[in-house]
Structures are given as structure tokens and as C-alpha cells.
Amino acid sequence: MREDMPRLFDLPTATSGRFEPARLTQARVRLGMSKASLAGQVGVSANAIGQYEAGVNSPRPEVLARLADTLKVRPGFFSVGRPLSRVDTVNAHFRSLRSARVMDRHKALATATLVWELTFALERYVRLPQADLPKVPTGATPPEAAAALREHWGLPDGPVKHLTATAESRGIVVVVRPLREIDAVDAFSVAIVDRPIIITTPRRTENVFRHRFSLAHEIGHLLLHGENGEYSAAVEREADEFAAAFLTPASAMDAALPQRLDLAVLDRIGRTWGVSSTSLVRRMVERGRTTESSARRAYQRLAMADDPTADPTSAYPGETPTLLKKAAELAGDVGAGVPALADALRLNPADVRDLLGEADRRPVLRLIQGMAEAR
């Protein structure tokens, strides 16, 4: 975060209830709406929206109500008096930066700030694990950083079981959001007030091996690249190298990998270590067990047989994020359930449940030609 930017924490003051311009920006950007689009739906000019967000003018009560209705928040969402995180996109690590527009990145980061606000609200009632990432010396290579993390977390030189649960137990908030929210960036990581947050999409979690590698990749960014979110192919390669070294340390792979390229054997090894056969083929090249040309043929065979939905994350207990949901359950036990969290965040309870990853299982009522039909 740049030092000239506001850090956060507008603690409750007598000004509570006054209009907070940044909240309007946050709500608008999270839905991916332009100022002109919002203005058209609310019935004001785009210039008026710009003035609201710049703090030049505040919307009248009737306009505020229309803004809240259009942006799907409660009118109180726009008031000051609660922590507000302001993080620039340059401080986040986006997986698909080249194809993502600036608006896409701001939209994804608006989601991350809401996740952080929910985490902050939960910490009023529940002591969450403190962030526990070691300081990696400047200039450390990805394998050195991976070894340092294994040592710091006390992980033996073997498979990392339940990587998501392990990361959450070290204070990393892991969240899976719908594709419509962060589709363009696919996956990213950011630290907000020392709380590391990793957000991915179902496209990453539909396969447990892809999910674990992606999670390790983002942990690599947090360790190696900190708040420097500068994108480059070299930075992404470093994160990939970290993920491979963390999930499959070279010393262990030297003992585990076969002497010749055998996809059936690699499949068995992969299911023990929680990594894909493709990743192990890459590791065989790196460890001098096979050649690049043989690896290319292996990749082609693996691509022909690839079924990304064959091993969904949900089938592997421990690889589905649960930190926020369990914290909310504990908060509920002390009288701070979802309605209280919704009041604290000035959101609708349904939105809080959505951020917690709780699917709305209520039946849907549809009216068809005046007749009610429940599904």
C-alpha cells in the first residue's frame, strides 16, 4: 500500500450516519457498474455520481435510497463509522492480469475488501488464527522460500495434507467466489491490514490438484512478492516454482519419482502428494529424469484424457474453505449471528451468508400465470 493513501479505520464517532463517498465507489465497483450506468438507473447525471464519490456533494435521502436499491445494499451501507479498507490494485497479485481490465481488477478487489470487513467483524466475537507467514530473506529463491515455509509451519518432508485447512489454520483467509465476481482475474491474493486473503473461483476449485497448486502459487506471491503486485511473466514463474517446491520438495521427489516416464505410476504418486500428473512430469524434467521432448508427448496424452471435474475439491475434506463459516457459527453461539454481522456491515443477511459461502437452499417461488409453483 502506498504511504500517501489512507490506511483505514474510521472508528465510530459522532459523525456516524454521514455519507461516506468511498462506500458508494465500493458498492458500484463491486457490481462492475460505470458511473453513467448507475446514474441512468438512479435518475441523476453521471456528473452527480462523480461528485458524490469525490465528496463534493452528498446525495439527497431519496437519491440515497435509490442508490442503495440499485447497488443491492442497505442505505446505511453508505454511512461512515466503521472500518474501511482502501487497497490499491497494485498491492494485489492477480493471476490473469493481462486479460483483465482495470475495472475487473477494481471489481475483484472490492470483493476482497468486503471479505476483509467480514473477517474484521467476526474478530469482534471470535479469535481467529493470527497470520503466520515467515519473513523470507531478500533474494531468496522460490525453493528456499518453500523450504522456509515448511520449516516455519512444522511440515515434514512429505505430502501436505489439506493445504486449504493448513493455510486457514495459519491465518490465511481462503474464499471461493462466483465466476461473475472475479472471472476476469480468476484468482488473486492480497494482504489487507496484515490479513492475507486468497480468492479463487470454481474454475480453480473444480479440480482438487489445480486448486492446491493455485493456492500454493498465491502463498508464494504473499511470501516472495509482498505488497509489490507488479505483474510479469518472471514473477508468475517464481510463484509457480514456489508452488512446485512447496508441494513436492526436490529431495522427496528424487526418492519418489520413477526412473522413466510412466503416467500410471505418476498418477499414483500424484494422488499421494496431492498434485497433478502434469506437475510431476514437469518435476521429472527438472530433476533430470526425462527430456523436454518426452515431456511434451506426455502432456499431449494427459490433455487428451483430462477431465477437470473428475476430482472436485468438495470431495476432499479439508480442501474446502471453512474458516469464515466456522467463525460465524462460533459468533452465533455468543449471540452474534448473521443478522448481527449484517447490521455491523450494513449489508443484507443474504449477502453475509453468501460471503460466508453458505448456499441459499430455500425453495424458489415462481409465479406462472397467477399460479404459485415451488421448486
How large is the average pLDDT for residues 235-243?
A: 93
C-beta separation of 341 from 328 below 8 A: yes
What's the pLDDT at 244?
Answer: 96
| pLDDT of 11 strictly over 60 | no
Q: Could you write out the DSSP letters of every residue in 267-306?
A: HHHHHHHT--HHHHHHHHHHTTSS-HHHHHHHHHHHHHH-
The DSSP call for residue 129 is P
Among 21-30, 175-184, 223-232, 325-334, the least confident range: 223-232
Q: Residue 126: which residues within 8 A CB-CB, separation 6 or more?
A: 327, 330, 331
For residue 3, pLDDT over 80 is answered with no
Is the pLDDT at 216 greater than 50, yes or no? yes
Residue 2 has pLDDT above 50, yes or no: no
- Residue matched to cell numbers 483505514: 8
pLDDT of residue 103: 83
- pLDDT for res 10: 38
Interval 37-61: pLDDT, tens: 999 999 999 999 999 999 999 999 9
pLDDT level of residue 184 (50, 70, 90 thresholds): confident
**Cβ proximity of 362 and 350 under 8 Å:** no
Element containing residue 368 per DSSP (H, E): strand 365-368
Query: Looking at the predicted structure, is the pLDDT value of residue 360 above 80?
Result: no
CA–CA distance, 247 with 282 (Å, rounded to integer): 13
Query: Where are the domains positioned within the chain?
Result: 16-81, 90-248+314-358
Q: CA-CA distance, 193 to 8, in Å (whole number)? A: 9
Q: What is the structure's pLDDT at 61?
A: 93
140 residue type, one letter: A
What DSSP string runs through 17-73? TSB-HHHHHHHHHHTT--HHHHHHHHTS-HHHHHHHHHTSS---HHHHHHHHHHHTS
Q: How confident is the model at residue 287 (pLDDT cuts 50, 70, 90)?
A: very high
The listed CATH number (1.10.580.10, 1.10.260.40, 1.10.40.50, 2.60.40.10) that belongs to domain 16-81: 1.10.260.40
**pTM, to two decimals:** 0.86
Q: What is the pLDDT of residue 241?
A: 95
